[in-house]
Structure 1
Amino acid sequence: MLLQKTLLSAAAVVLASAAGLAQKVAFTEYDLPNGLHVILHEDKSAPVVAVSVMYHVGSKNEETSRTGFAHFFEHLLFEGTDNIKRGEFMRLVSSNGGENNANTSQDRTFYYEVFPSNQLKLGLWLESERMMHPVINEVGVRTQNEVVKEEKRLRIDNVPYGHFTEEIFKRLFYNHPYKWQTIGSMADLDAAKLEEFKAFFKKYYVPNNAVLSIAGDIDVAQTKELVAAYFSPVPQGEPIQYKKAEEQPITKMIVDTAYDANIQIPAIMSAYRVPGLTSKDATAMEMISAILSGGASSKLYKKMVDEKKNSLQVGAFNYVLEDYGAYITYALPNNNTPLDVLLKDVDEEIVKLQTNLISEDDYKKIQNQFENNYVNANSRMLGVAENLAKGYTFYNKNTNNINQELDKIRSVSREDIRDAAKKYLQPNARVVLYYLPGKASL
């Protein structure tokens, strides 16, 4: 026990030291006349530059009968432009020493390139081409339709437990577009006409709905000139009106069953609707996740995997999104333990969090972990670029959120953790899902 405490204390010192190394992220920000918000961060520590564009469009902006459009455009906008031939986009990046990718969530789409800093112009040209005049035609739509279908087969349909978030979200949300998954419906994509894809692009992939964030070995004055040259010609789009779909509180526990032909071991899951990412409570819920299942020393792992040995896996996480979040717990049985027993064990640990303050040692450990995660997230230029854009996009145009995250972490008290658990993790306000082997009903 003494050795364990010594090691934990040493680890805490290391984590605290790492967090102490966090430096304020300096940046310059401004708007182009067409509404594009530009954020520049100069860092000469390595000859690297990250060029990124975050569009404030995700699956929550889709129509009910046309789901999957935002994720589809993540793929489609690599097809080519008036000045980039089909298949040339990625070749241009790799042949000039760079890397690139994109990803889509329910709330935003993020494109990026990371280049040697002498290729800044190329990164800006590529993203301006993507924004200004991509080629959206039948060939590209058909090609990417097949790509998306294959991605769905590989990552969701043929993966054990691949549909569990889909099964949870469609029960947790009634009105909000979060009720469908980002990849959407293949039937919706098949039914969509070319004009619908063009209209979706024209509406959302416009400079006044985007943030251009550049971080790395740049000269700010010179980069401003390049940004103006490449992006000023992009026409401004119509203002985007978005109204959050409100959900009524869940007041009675929802119990249901889902089947997955790709699994042999059942699981039991519970899900609670929680506040969106800008809420202070969202940080508290993240900390609760770390307490319950953040590693081998966490409460659930020690109790159910190590000591009782009634679980093969157990976990809890906060699926944080802009409008709402979903707090999810799960457990897979060992030795044929009944699923209800696992749920009872998880609930007991939640009740402890709701009733008692966590220990000072656990609190310091969690604080140090989160501070270290913050430092790591901003240790690469791409992470800095994304977090700068995220602050502006989601935190009421507060780009400086990147420098306020540590204070937010440190402001969450033990009482806040207890109160958040008590407020949101109530049995009568959740979905309980028995996720079982078997063929899903169509």
Structure 2
Amino acid sequence: MTQKISLSVIAVLLSFVGFAQQVDYELYTMDNGLDVILHQDNSAPVVTVGVMYHVGAKDEVEGRTGFAHFFEHLLFEGTENIERGEWFDIVSANGGQNNANTTFDRTYYYETFPSNNLELGLWMESERMFHPVINKIGVDTQNEVVKEEKRTRVDNAPYGKIIYSTGINPYLFEKHPYKGSVIGTMADLDAAELDEFLDFFDKFYGPNNATLVIAGDIDLEETKVLANKYFSEIPKGPEVERVKIEEDPIEETIVATEYDDNIQIPAKIFVYRTPGMGERDTYVLDMISSILTDGKSSRMYKRLVDDEKIALQVLALNRTQEDYGTYVMGGLAMGDTDLSEIAASVDDEIEKLKAELISEREYEKLQNKFENRYVSSNSSIQGIASSLATYHVLFDDVDLINKEIEIYRSITREEIKEVANKYLNASSRLDLDYLPTPNDQ
């Protein structure tokens, strides 16, 4: 009888496994265009099988937003060989866990199993790619699920327009699909016909637009045989055309006000449009965001919250995406503090960063923080699998999993000052007052 090992036990085992800085992997491509990444780590009996499709909200057409995120839900409905509603039961009955997530740029599905269920994970993901059942009952069911998610996580969430960018991106992007939101609009989903969902799947869910990642307690040669068994016969899909859409520079301050029914504390928000993934300036901006707004030791927290006591909390959301990123910073007003006071203090801290090199001590602390972040992101098999797929699909460089920390290590204090002057300018940002909805509205 085959023994099943629960993931709770495996998690305990993994907590005692040290992380080797070098992540070894093998990358190859099947004849149908499916890229496959293998990572062997036999330190614990666990394996993650994931598939990342290079399709996200930016690939949708006007009037049909939300399709990419909708498919994240729809493709758990069932397949020709997995009955509707049985997907999660199969995973849990075999000691596993699974999930999926969608961004503007990609959609990722994965299962983590005890390693003796590797073949099960491969079969399930091949079923999702080759034999999904996309019908009216599934579309109608998931339509209601997505509506509830939108109500809970976006519409009724405090500061939801900031967290999910629906109150930010329309100001920063005029041409690019980033001006929308990942979850889309319910009106677009309601208006879509079944044939449109089928067409979306056919266009984007072919093996040549996907990367299969298998990480954990595997034998490389045996795993290649199994991957070939379940995926090699899936027909190649149409080539996905990528259209690069460039935004015009922001040359004067965008001043705006947004209201939120779910808050009582106003916030001052500054948002900057930043470069896309892989550009060196993006890495420098990661460090800048850490200096200014990352945690209680950051400059803005110490000044606005601890010293001046004009803010209850500082906000920081550094979103890096394939084509462009956004850096959101700001503060929640303390008591009757005028938002202009928060703006003045934030601007003063920005100007200090632009005028003076950070200290050697602050620089050393910053490097340690990024070293720890790097180790943490690759300290589990799930994390490694996700990183390998992401670096391949969005950066076209799997080896960044090993090289990226060297990029951060190479960033100088002078470079931090230079990039702050390049991007953190009042004339090229959104200046947003985020307010409770007045009682008369």
TM bin, normalised by shorter chain, reads over 0.9
Match of 1:71 among 38, 50, 69: 69
Structure 2 residue 118 is the aligned partner of structure 1 residue 120: yes
Q: Displacement, 1:23?
A: 2.1
Q: Displacement, 1:335?
A: 2.3
Q: Which amino acid aligns with 2:425?
A: Q
Give CA-to-partner distance per residue, 1:241-263, whole Å, 9 cap, x none. 11121100000101011111111
Partner of 1:148: 146
Query: Structure 2: 5+ residue runs without aligned partners?
Result: 1-17
TM-score by length of 2: 0.94
Q: How does 1:83-232 map to 2 (within 5 A)?
A: 83-164=81-162, 165-232=165-232
Q: Displacement, 1:156?
A: 0.9
Question: Is the contact made by 2:29 and 2:35 (CA closer than 8 Å) also made in structure 1?
Answer: yes
Give CA-to-partner distance per residue, 1:253-284, whole Å, 9 cap, x none. 01011111111111111111110121111111
Once the two structures are overlaid, the 10-residue window that deviates more, 24-33 or 93-102, is 24-33
Partner of 1:34: 32
Matches of 1:272 and 1:388, distance apart in 2: 28
Q: How does 1:274-289 map to 2 (within 5 A)?
A: 274-289=274-289
Give CA-to-partner distance per residue, 1:321-357, whole Å, 9 cap, x none. 1100001112111121100110111111111111111
Question: Is the contact made by 1:261 and 1:440 (CA closer than 8 Å) also made in structure 2?
Answer: no
The 1:255/1:232 distance shift into structure 2, 3 A limit, reads: same
Q: Which amino acid aligns with 2:147?
A: K
Partner of 2:407: 408
Q: How does 1:420-435 map to 2 (within 5 A)?
A: 420-435=419-434
Q: Secondary structure at the match of 1:163?
A: helix
Q: Secondary structure at the match of 1:35?
A: coil
Partner of 2:23: 25
Question: Is the contact made by 1:66 and 1:189 (CA closer than 8 Å) also made in structure 2?
Answer: yes
Q: Displacement, 1:45?
A: 0.4
Q: Secondary structure at the match of 2:236?
A: coil
The 1:25/1:441 distance shift into structure 2, 3 A limit, reads: farther
Q: How does 1:306-317 map to 2 (within 5 A)?
A: 306-317=306-317
Matches of 1:236 and 1:200, distance apart in 2: 15
Q: Which amino acid aligns with 1:150?
A: E
Matches of 2:214 and 2:186, distance apart in 1: 35
Q: Secondary structure at the match of 1:258?
A: strand
Q: Which amino acid aligns with 2:26?
A: T
Matches of 2:210 and 2:98, distance apart in 1: 18
The 1:298/1:140 distance shift into structure 2, 3 A limit, reads: same
Partner of 1:17: none
Q: Displacement, 1:441?
A: 12
Q: Secondary structure at the match of 1:316?
A: strand
Question: Is the contact made by 2:19 and 2:379 (CA closer than 8 Å) also made in structure 1?
Answer: no
Matches of 2:19 and 2:121, distance apart in 1: 30
Q: Which amino acid aligns with 2:21?
A: Q
Matches of 1:109 and 1:441, distance apart in 2: 41
Q: Which amino acid aligns with 1:354?
A: K
Q: Which amino acid aligns with 1:167?
A: G
Partner of 2:4: none
Once the two structures are overlaid, the 10-residue window that deviates more, 197-206 or 313-322, is 313-322
Partner of 2:435: 436
Q: How does 1:378-389 map to 2 (within 5 A)?
A: 378-389=378-389
Matches of 1:125 and 1:21, distance apart in 2: 29
Partner of 1:253: 253
Question: Is the contact made by 1:54 and 1:110 (CA closer than 8 Å) also made in structure 2?
Answer: yes
The 1:440/1:111 distance shift into structure 2, 3 A limit, reads: farther
Q: Which amino acid aligns with 2:433?
A: Y
Matches of 1:418 and 1:243, distance apart in 2: 33
Partner of 2:398: 399
Q: Displacement, 1:319?
A: 1.1
Partner of 2:338: 338
Matches of 1:319 and 1:279, distance apart in 2: 14
The 1:22/1:223 distance shift into structure 2, 3 A limit, reads: closer
The 1:417/1:441 distance shift into structure 2, 3 A limit, reads: farther
Matches of 1:163 and 1:124, distance apart in 2: 38
Q: Displacement, 1:180?
A: 0.5
Query: Structure 1: 5+ residue runs without aligned partners?
Result: 1-19
Matches of 1:67 and 1:441, distance apart in 2: 32
The 1:441/1:139 distance shift into structure 2, 3 A limit, reads: farther
Q: Which amino acid aligns with 1:288?
A: I
The 1:279/1:440 distance shift into structure 2, 3 A limit, reads: farther
Q: Which runs of 4+ in 1 moved over 3 A?
A: 439-442
Question: Is the contact made by 1:50 and 1:215 (CA closer than 8 Å) also made in structure 2?
Answer: yes
Partner of 1:11: none
Q: Displacement, 1:137?
A: 0.3
Question: Is the contact made by 2:19 and 2:378 (CA closer than 8 Å) also made in structure 1?
Answer: no
Q: Displacement, 1:390?
A: 1.2
Matches of 2:221 and 2:110, distance apart in 1: 22
Partner of 2:417: 418
Q: Secondary structure at the match of 1:166?
A: coil
Question: Is the contact made by 1:176 and 1:245 (CA closer than 8 Å) also made in structure 2?
Answer: yes
Q: Displacement, 1:133?
A: 1.2
Matches of 1:117 and 1:59, distance apart in 2: 33
Q: Secondary structure at the match of 2:61?
A: coil
Partner of 1:6: none
Q: Displacement, 1:295?
A: 1.6
Question: Is the contact made by 1:258 and 1:440 (CA closer than 8 Å) also made in structure 2?
Answer: no
Q: Which amino acid aligns with 2:188?
A: D
Partner of 1:5: none
Tell me the matched-pair count: 422
Q: Which amino acid aligns with 1:34?
A: N
Matches of 2:340 and 2:437, distance apart in 1: 19
Question: Is the contact made by 1:286 and 1:317 (CA closer than 8 Å) also made in structure 2?
Answer: no
Identity %: 55
